Chains A and B, each alone.
Chain A
Amino acid sequence: MTDWPRAEHLARPNPSQTDDGSAGKLVVVGMGPGSPAHLTRAAREAIRAADAVYAAPLYQRFLRADGLLGGETDHAEERDQSDGGPVVIDSSRRDRRSQAAATFGRVRDGDTVVHISGGDPAVYGKSDLLVTLAETEADGEIPIEVLPGVTAALGGAALLGAPLSNDFCTLSLSTARRDREAIDRKLEAVAGAGFVIALYNVNRSLGSALDVIETHRSGSVPVAVLEDVARGERGRSPTGETVTVTTLAALPEEIDVVTTGTLVVVGTEDSRVLRPANGGRPFLVTPRDGSAPLSDGGGEHGG
């Protein structure tokens, strides 16, 4: 289906894995931060070739607008596309377990089923659930391919230049069924050790998280608040894509509302804001070494 090189270790010895065109498989696809321009070619081809696509309504809209899915926006739970394209299923419903079971059923029948995750499937996405259920409820016999995507943090970082150009972490502040103290311990650890911090799911507990970080970091370190990254006018926020650069101390005064789609990047003591004299957008950079002169020498790989 795609020319993403095959990983031999995932090619388990069962008949359905032979790639003769009739074998089904589950493909978990990273959507990237929003705009379909951030999809990889492998991801686009997987969506085009799918028999069924599970996607939340927001991502369905992006894909339809880009012509990757046919038909109009429709919140019906399941329907066949009149143009012969894939069946599109709303994955925002709560019964993920039964959706997984239905997925495995289709795969056994020879279908290629795509599940879309925002950003990368590994970043608070659903590859954990699907891989786990494939093992516990389908005896590991479901061929699974994960097609990675650009993460929301990196999509947001790109708008700012290079705020994550040193060791960084991604942390979710969601307290839904998670231990608040464990989150605080992680915040303490990364704030004290100089990581750039990308915060996800900030809508309920941003204030207290910033308080924890501020016990380890100056109030003057740069902080960026990003809304609807790379989504343009198609996102959830009425103001569209917004990027605000402020400081740890000033954030509570400057930012009124955060939503589930808000991403917050907290810089380190080395992070710097590059701001033009009159207007113009600010850039943010966290150098690999805050003091070293610029010189060649090195020998390391990025990525």
Chain B
Amino acid sequence: MGADRTPDDSPFDGDERSDGADGGYLAAVGIGPGHDAGMTIRARDTLESVDHIVGYETYVELLPESLRRDAEAVHATGMGTEVSRTETAVDRALDGASVALVGSGDPNVYALGGLVLEVLESRGIHPDRIDFEVVPGVPAAQSSAARLGAPLVTDTVSISLSDHLTPLAEIESRLKAVAPTGMAIVLYNPWSPNRAENFRLACEILSTHRDPETPVGIVRGAGRAEERTHVTDLETLPELGESDLLDMTTTVIVGTEQTRVWGDRLVTPRGYERKYDY
């Protein structure tokens, strides 16, 4: 059990309390699918107002040119540098700068919002000291679902197939738990060359519990210029692992027994059929 830090065992002493004296500010900003029109007004306003923008280079490149030009310092780093990138953002905010840590989708969804809190916690600093806030964005599940019609209008789980931070056994047990239920399943990080086995395993678990003809929607790079969508079924899904349709920017949506397909449109009704009488 993680410690529920009550006032009695709080790691934050009197000197670290929120007083705003440092003047620093850190926002974890979700930019949505990665094009200007898909960003919320609040996200844009936040990016316009900060001095520093910190982010993974691919996400920073997705920002409108004007935002990158206006920010005093743009710090873009490569894949696999999540912790040091987050520490850079925290350090600059502690130095008094206003900083936006950007990521695609939403900061809560397999992104850096949680890492900011973990970095602060490890140093005994309460988030209010840098006026930390999370600016939500449209997550990949919603951007992808929108492109397919309405595949997620029901109870839904999201599972990342990356075992970088979550043990594969845990991913496996989550898949086994939800596969027999009538919930739609969104798979993030479905495939990379060194995790082909995770994808194969996921397909195997899902086919054990769901009809082979269960519709599956695949969206790669949702909302971006190079977007691709594909509708298939559970039986065919394993074959697509090696295709260029699946990589770490792809979202896979596995339907339920209620999911219907019309051409390239998918619909999973929320189960209120009789209310609408259709």
Chain A residues close to B by CB (< 8 Å): 2-5, 7, 9-10, 12, 30, 32-33, 35-42, 44-45, 96-97, 120-125, 127-133, 135-136, 140, 144, 146-151, 154-155, 157-159, 161-172, 176-178, 182, 185-186, 189-190, 192-195, 218, 220-222, 247, 269-278, 280-281, 283, 285-290, 292, 294-303
Give me 23 A-to-B residue pairs in the complex whose CB atoms sit less than 8 angstroms apart, sorted by A's number. Answer: A4-B223, A38-B136, A97-B278, A122-B142, A123-B152, A125-B153, A127-B153, A133-B278, A150-B136, A154-B109, A157-B134, A159-B134, A169-B156, A169-B178, A172-B270, A176-B275, A222-B4, A272-B121, A276-B16, A290-B2, A294-B83, A298-B164, A300-B110
Q: A177-B275, A303-B140 are in contact. Are A128 and B269 (CB under 8 A)?
A: yes
- Whole-angstrom distance between the Cβ of B188 and the nearest chain A Cβ: 6
Alpha-carbon distance between A294 and B132 when the two chains are bound, in angstroms: 19
Alpha-carbon distance between A38 and B30 when the two chains are bound, in angstroms: 11
Q: A36-B41, A157-B108 are in contact. Are A189 and B181 (CB under 8 A)?
A: yes
Q: A123-B152, A276-B128 are in contact. Are A169 and B147 (CB under 8 A)?
A: no
Q: Which of B163-185 contact A (CB under 8 A)?
A: 164-166, 170, 173-174, 176-178, 180-183
Chain A residues positioned under 8 Å from B137 (CB to CB): 150, 154
> A193 and B174: CB pair below 8 A?
yes
Tell me whether B37 is interfacial, beta carbon within 8 Å: yes
Contact of A39 among B41, B173, B227, B275 (CB under 8 A): B41
> B4 and A148: CB pair below 8 A?
no
> A135 and B262: CB pair below 8 A?
yes
Chain A residues positioned under 8 Å from B13 (CB to CB): 277
> B37 and A299: CB pair below 8 A?
no
Chain B residues positioned under 8 Å from A150 (CB to CB): 30, 40, 106, 136-138
Contact of B39 among A41, A146, A170, A289 (CB under 8 A): A41
Chain A residues positioned under 8 Å from B80 (CB to CB): 296-299
Tell me whether B79 is interfacial, beta carbon within 8 Å: yes
Chain B residues positioned under 8 Å from A185 (CB to CB): 181
Chain A residues positioned under 8 Å from B120 (CB to CB): 274
Tell me whether B150 is interfacial, beta carbon within 8 Å: yes
> B12 and A276: CB pair below 8 A?
yes
Q: A10-B147, A36-B41, A161-B117 are in contact. Are A298 and B166 (CB under 8 A)?
A: no
**What interface size band does chain B fall in?**
35 or more
> A158 and B108: CB pair below 8 A?
yes
Chain A residues positioned under 8 Å from B278 (CB to CB): 97, 129, 132-133, 136
Chain B residues positioned under 8 Å from A177 (CB to CB): 271-275
A125, A157, A221 pick with most chain B CB within 10 angstroms: A157
Tell me whether B5 is interfacial, beta carbon within 8 Å: yes
> A301 and B114: CB pair below 8 A?
no
> B264 and A131: CB pair below 8 A?
no
Q: A37-B42, A194-B174, A274-B127 are in contact. Are A155 and B155 (CB under 8 A)?
A: no
Alpha-carbon distance between A40 and B135 when the two chains are bound, in angstroms: 13
Chain A residues positioned under 8 Å from B48 (CB to CB): none
Q: A37-B42, A131-B150, A303-B188 are in contact. Are A220 and B4 (CB under 8 A)?
A: yes
Alpha-carbon distance between A190 and B5 when the two chains are bound, in angstroms: 25
Chain A residues positioned under 8 Å from B103 (CB to CB): 302-303
> A169 and B223: CB pair below 8 A?
no
> A285 and B117: CB pair below 8 A?
yes
Contact of B150 among A128, A176, A274 (CB under 8 A): A128
CB nearest neighbor in A for B219: A7
Alpha-carbon distance between A134 and B113 when the two chains are bound, in angstroms: 39
> B128 and A296: CB pair below 8 A?
no
Q: Which of B100-148 contact A (CB under 8 A)?
A: 103-122, 126-128, 132-143, 145-147
Tell me whether B157 is interfacial, beta carbon within 8 Å: yes
Tell me whether B215 is interfacial, beta carbon within 8 Å: no
- Whole-angstrom distance between the Cβ of B169 and the nearest chain A Cβ: 11
CB nearest neighbor in A for B11: A274
Contact of A272 among B4, B28, B37 (CB under 8 A): B4
Q: A154-B139, A178-B272 are in contact. Are A37 and B40 (CB under 8 A)?
A: yes
Chain A residues positioned under 8 Å from B92 (CB to CB): none
Contact of B5 among A133, A275, A288 (CB under 8 A): A275
- Per-residue CB proximity of B7-48 to A under 8 Å, as 1/0? 100101110111000000000101011011111111011000
> B174 and A164: CB pair below 8 A?
no
Alpha-carbon distance between A125 and B154 when the two chains are bound, in angstroms: 9
- Going nearest first, the 9 A-B pairs with the smallest beta carbon separation are A165-B114, A303-B105, A303-B140, A302-B111, A193-B177, A162-B114, A127-B150, A128-B153, A288-B165
Tell me whether B6 is interfacial, beta carbon within 8 Å: yes
- Per-residue CB proximity of B170-207 to A under 8 Å, as 1/0? 10011011101111000011001000000000000000
Q: A4-B35, A270-B2 are in contact. Are A140 and B263 (CB under 8 A)?
A: yes
> B121 and A274: CB pair below 8 A?
yes
> B223 and A178: CB pair below 8 A?
no
> A157 and B155: CB pair below 8 A?
no
